[in-house]
Structure 1
Amino acid sequence: MLSKGMYPDNYTLPFVLKACAKLQSFYSGELIYDHCLKLGFVFDTFVGNALISKYGGFNNVKVARCIFDEIPRLDVVSWTVVISGYVQMGDIDTARLLFNEAPVKDRGIWGAMISGYVKNNCFKEGLYMFRLIQMSNVEPDEAMFVSVISACANMGALDTGIWIHKYMDQQKFPPSLRLSARLVDVYAKCGNLDIAKKLFDEMLQRDVSWNVMISGMAMHGNGESAIQLFRQIEKDRVRPDYITFIALCSACSYSGNAFEGLRILDRMRNVYNIEPKSEHFGCIIDLLVRGGILQEANQVIQSMPDSSNPSDEAIAWRALLNSYCSSKLTKLAEVATEKLMRLEDHSSVYVLLSNIYASSGKHYDAKRIKQMMKSRGVNKAPGCSSIKINGEVHEFIAGENSHLQNFGEAGQAITLYRSEPLFIAADTVEHSQYN
């Protein structure tokens, strides 16, 4: 177009900028930005929104914010794309401040904020935002339902998940493949495998739901059912992926089936040509050590391919250390700890070794490890858990007792969110520990 002597306008440039973002071509995007400056379109609303989206996609939210602040006439898309940029960078607090300042809040802005909270593991805040949107005149869409159901699955908030499911039914919201998979996920993760299996069987297309069901069965110790479901996958000629095999390795670990775990690892490599990752090795190593097959566990970890990311290798060694600690194998745990400390400086390594010394009666060594943590400035994140009483969720943080509703030395009670009581029995009490 340029070679023909024609100049782009404020309708052409946004599409070219979108193409640069899709191709992840930062250099080409900078060239187009130069054209925007030369032609005077940089402060045009359409072009400015495309530039904000481009720089947000390249994690350069500082430039995106500068463009946003310079656009004279902001529209609802401007607010949505800049909020999405901060969300992608993990700066959820700034995103929320912008959300509060937005003069008009349409479905896109609400969706960006809800999904932003969930993607950044702020699950209770995501559910709270969903409650707020119900008080507005904006109808939730599929993306919002997917986000809040994922939040319920990660928090173990089954009652809230059931309420959202029934709310969707009341609104006659058509369940898509993605939404059905999330519903299966929340029921499976929260332990209601019967309803999860019923929803799974009703799906015309299952896709990722195979992985969801296998993971749910594995999580709740139903390893044999998970393996049978994998056999059904093979029978139906559905190709499994690496996530399927992570779930299967976990299922074998929970059920203590060492032989089946090694067989699955072999099929993964030789039948499906999928190279195992650190998560697979971690599950298999844990399985072998629990079964007392220590020599095979060492052979598996030695056969791991070299990884450019030390944290990948650390996952497998941490599983080995955890298994040694469970078996009170002090000498082997010391070897695994030495290897882990070369890969990472994480508090869990020190805590595991300190615990094994304490359980073996070596209290001096246990104290020495804790002093080593202190001298090296390694801090252990305090444990926390949540409890739901009469539809109200409270959070307890270890060591905190300053709250007016603190329960003795258990910690500080913090109200996270209140569930909609319409579908929840008054005497429901459910406990979920997520750290």
Structure 2
Amino acid sequence: MSYCTVTVAGHSIYPPNPISIPDSSSHRKQTISLLQKCKHINQIQSIHAKIIRNGHEHDPFIVFELIRLSSSKFNSIDYACKVFHHTHNQNVYLYTSLIDGFVFSRSYVDAIRLYCQMISESILPDNYVITSVLKACGSLLALREGREVHGQVLKLGLSSNRSIRLKLMEFYCKCGEFKDAIQVFDEMPDCDVVASTVVITCYFDHGLVERAIDLFNRVKTKDTVCWTAMIDGLVRNGEMSRALDVFREMQWENVRPNEVTIVCVLSACSQMGALELGRWVHSYVGKYRIELNHFVGGALINMYSRCGDIDEARRVFEVMKERNVITYNSIIVGLALHGRSIEAIEIFREMLRRGLKPSSVTFVGVLNACSHGGLLDLGFEIFHSMAKDHGIEPHIEHYGCMVDLLGRVGRPEEAYNFITSMKMAPDHIMLGALLSACKIHGNLELGEKIAKTLLDCGKADSGTYTLLSNVYALSGKWKEAAQMRAKMKEAGIRKEPGCSSIEVNNEIHEFMLGDIRHPQRDEIYNKLQELNKILRSSQQGYYSPATETVLHDIEDKDKEWALSIHSERLAICYGLISTKPSTTIRVVKNLRVCNDCHSMIKLIAKLTNRKIVVRDRNRFHHFENDTCSCGDYW
């Protein structure tokens, strides 16, 4: 005799009262094997028809596999429901397979409802169905229902089961009931690293960074998953520097990172502009032969793109054996950010030739490329092709790209008409882009109209007030500029402080406006004054500080000083004194680069014979030989 075994969540189980199968008869085994080899729901349906013709439609083993494969593998929950409801003698295993299917398809209410139906029919739950329904309760934040399940766990004597305890902790953490979660946690065996990881992850989910760090430091023996959860949580909460510190500590402890760790660290590098550390991670991938799949490859492309080395991003893309839509999106978006518009469009066309279906993100990337390149006709051609050729209705971000494109080519009035003809209301990002175009092209009248729209609908942010103040200041309307600053103060809106960072010798150095915290501040300011003096000398007399961009009615001398101590200039000066000649300097700034800094950096690049790459809020600027890749529009 032999028995058919089915698997749930990696565990082998038997349906109740297993039916013995004579060794000479392999019909059931063959049927289940055929079902497991199916690659499409249509194949499942075809085999199901034969099962019915052979009178085996109520066989618990076969029905279990039909429901499991239909719901979880092929995401055909409706078909799985039909199979379930036409089956006699439903048991806990069949309920488990369908509840799992509901959870897999994120139909959490249906999963909980089916579990309640099972209980009402006096079918006792087991470990597997309990963990599944707790996941549904946690995802739905259904605290009352989850507590009832916990009560059933205690009543049935299942509370000692480790999987249930872990899922109960996760459920309570998701619902923000940390007291209950810790109570369950305290009942776990000491040094249970998996349980600790569950709580750490949930703390991060709720933004409780310090609690997560404290718990992480309770944990004596940490595995790769625990370290990865810590790094991922810090990254998700914007703690990039701390995430990289944890990764370095992980290396000291000789814990080998896995694929997920690598992607998390690359994400932190991307957001901080930590290129050298990103390069080291890339070398680690090669050294330990971590597969350069879509997951890792896409993260590397994104890291190099965001850290200013688009050429290396392109090389990673070229060596990847397999590329999917996400991979193409990463390189298209990267090339667009760096002003490599033609290359981005060529990659987009290659993607279409390969028969890959572009996504909404693809079009954001390629339309941004058209915008940065000033490719008006091509941009509108691609924009109209979204719905016409690819069945993708444009979203607000796609319309925003077109507004930005019209503004770049000097047509702010057309951009405004384009906005008024949209099927949806414009957001503050789109209107802010148009306001910026009005500032660049000196269209005060339209700029005031756009700003009024933002102010009236309550969508104005610090950038709106600053931009309009700039527009007034450039027109010499100091009274109006002051009024904008006063309104900003009254509204309780604070201007985000400018911050620039530079990586030198694998360390990130951050600078604020007029920063004097750096240990080498004297050398930095000496270099700054040296550059200012040279650029104002008779030999370099083509530089004149853009004092009109300073939004205060003060003396020109004071305005010049206010401009010269911007954070990006301090970061560049530190790069000049701390790196070898001809080394590319890469700076990351959280705000848009001002006009005066942009002009100044072009001259510094020429004077020092350096390439300077600056990433600001909008895009990358590659400064070389008194030119910038943005074409002086950003």
TM-score by length of 2: 0.61
* 2:420 aligned with 1:302: yes
Matches of 1:64 and 1:347, distance apart in 2: 42
Structure 1 residue 335: Cα displacement:
1.2
Task: Tell me the equivalent position of 1:73.
Answer: 189
Structure 1 residue 42: Cα displacement:
5.1
Task: Tell me the equivalent position of 2:346.
Answer: 228
Distance change >3 Å, CA 254–CA 164, structure 1 → 2:
same
Matches of 1:265 and 1:145, distance apart in 2: 36
Structure 1 residue 325: Cα displacement:
1.7
Matches of 1:201 and 1:61, distance apart in 2: 48
Structure 1 residue 3: Cα displacement:
5.5
Matches of 2:235 and 2:482, distance apart in 1: 39
Structure 1 residue 293: Cα displacement:
2.3
Higher relative contact order (CA 8 A, sep 6+): 1
Task: Tell me the equivalent position of 2:622.
Answer: none
State the Cα deviation string for residues 48-68 of structure 1 (Å, max 9, x = none): 210122344x45353664444
Task: Tell me the equivalent position of 2:386.
Answer: 268
Task: Tell me the equivalent position of 1:420.
Answer: none
Matches of 2:139 and 2:453, distance apart in 1: 41
Task: Tell me the equivalent position of 2:396.
Answer: 278
State the Cα deviation string for residues 81-100 of structure 1 (Å, max 9, x = none): 11111212222222112111
Is the 1:357–1:363 Cα contact (8 Å) retained in structure 2? Answer: yes
Matches of 1:64 and 1:291, distance apart in 2: 59
Structure 1 residue 31: Cα displacement:
4.1
* 2:131 aligned with 1:48: no
Secondary structure of 1:240 counterpart: coil
Is the 2:428–2:460 Cα contact (8 Å) retained in structure 1? Answer: no
How is 1:373-388 mapped onto 2 (pairs within 5 angstroms)?
373-388=488-503
Q: Which stretch shifts more, 6-15 or 357-366?
A: 6-15
* 2:445 aligned with 1:331: yes
Structure 1 residue 404: Cα displacement:
5.0
Matches of 1:293 and 1:37, distance apart in 2: 69
Matches of 2:199 and 2:404, distance apart in 1: 44
Task: Tell me the equivalent position of 2:476.
Answer: 361
1:33 corresponds to which of 141, 150, 157: 150
Q: Which amino acid aligns with 1:358?
A: A
2:454 corresponds to which of 320, 340, 345: 340
Q: Which amino acid aligns with 1:71?
A: E
1:171 corresponds to which of 272, 288, 294: 288
Structure 1 residue 214: Cα displacement:
0.7
Task: Tell me the equivalent position of 1:434.
Answer: 589
Question: How many residues are aligned here?
Answer: 421
Q: Which amino acid aligns with 2:203?
A: Y
Task: Tell me the equivalent position of 1:120.
Answer: 237
* 2:433 aligned with 1:316: no
Secondary structure of 2:500 counterpart: strand
Is the 1:242–1:274 Cα contact (8 Å) retained in structure 2? Answer: yes
2:487 corresponds to which of 353, 372, 375: 372
Q: Which amino acid aligns with 2:461?
A: H
Is the 2:302–2:331 Cα contact (8 Å) retained in structure 1? Answer: yes
Matches of 1:186 and 1:403, distance apart in 2: 27
State the Cα deviation string for residues 283-302 of structure 1 (Å, max 9, x = none): 21011022122343123212
Point out the structure with max Rg over C-alpha.
2
Is the 1:382–1:399 Cα contact (8 Å) retained in structure 2? Answer: no
Distance change >3 Å, CA 59–CA 293, structure 1 → 2:
farther
Q: Which amino acid aligns with 1:152?
A: C
Task: Tell me the equivalent position of 1:144.
Answer: 261
TM-score by length of 1: 0.87
Structure 1 residue 11: Cα displacement:
5.7
State the Cα deviation string for residues 289-346 of structure 1 (Å, max 9, x = none): 2212234312321233336xxxx72221121112212222112111111222214242
1:257 corresponds to which of 370, 375, 378: 375
Is the 1:314–1:343 Cα contact (8 Å) retained in structure 2? Answer: no
Task: Tell me the equivalent position of 1:89.
Answer: 206
Matches of 2:177 and 2:168, distance apart in 1: 11
- Provide the alpha-carbon RMSD of the alignment: 2.9
Secondary structure of 1:433 counterpart: strand
Task: Tell me the equivalent position of 1:60.
Answer: 176
Q: Which amino acid aligns with 1:238?
A: L
Task: Tell me the equivalent position of 2:505.
Answer: 390
* 2:464 aligned with 1:349: yes
State the Cα deviation string for residues 198-248 of structure 1 (Å, max 9, x = none): 321222321111111111111111111111211112222211011011111
Is the 2:273–2:503 Cα contact (8 Å) retained in structure 1? Answer: no
Identity of aligned residues (%): 35
Is the 1:217–1:226 Cα contact (8 Å) retained in structure 2? Answer: yes
* 2:355 aligned with 1:241: no
Distance change >3 Å, CA 162–CA 198, structure 1 → 2:
same
Distance change >3 Å, CA 349–CA 410, structure 1 → 2:
closer
Structure 1 residue 69: Cα displacement:
5.2
Matches of 1:43 and 1:374, distance apart in 2: 58
State the Cα deviation string for residues 120-156 of structure 1 (Å, max 9, x = none): 2322222211111111132110000011112222222
State the Cα deviation string for residues 72-113 of structure 1 (Å, max 9, x = none): 535222111111112122222221121112232111111111
Structure 2, unaligned runs of 5 or more: 1-91, 93-118, 526-564, 572-578, 591-634
Distance change >3 Å, CA 59–CA 203, structure 1 → 2:
farther
Structure 1 residue 44: Cα displacement:
5.5
Distance change >3 Å, CA 119–CA 426, structure 1 → 2:
farther
Matches of 2:430 and 2:423, distance apart in 1: 12
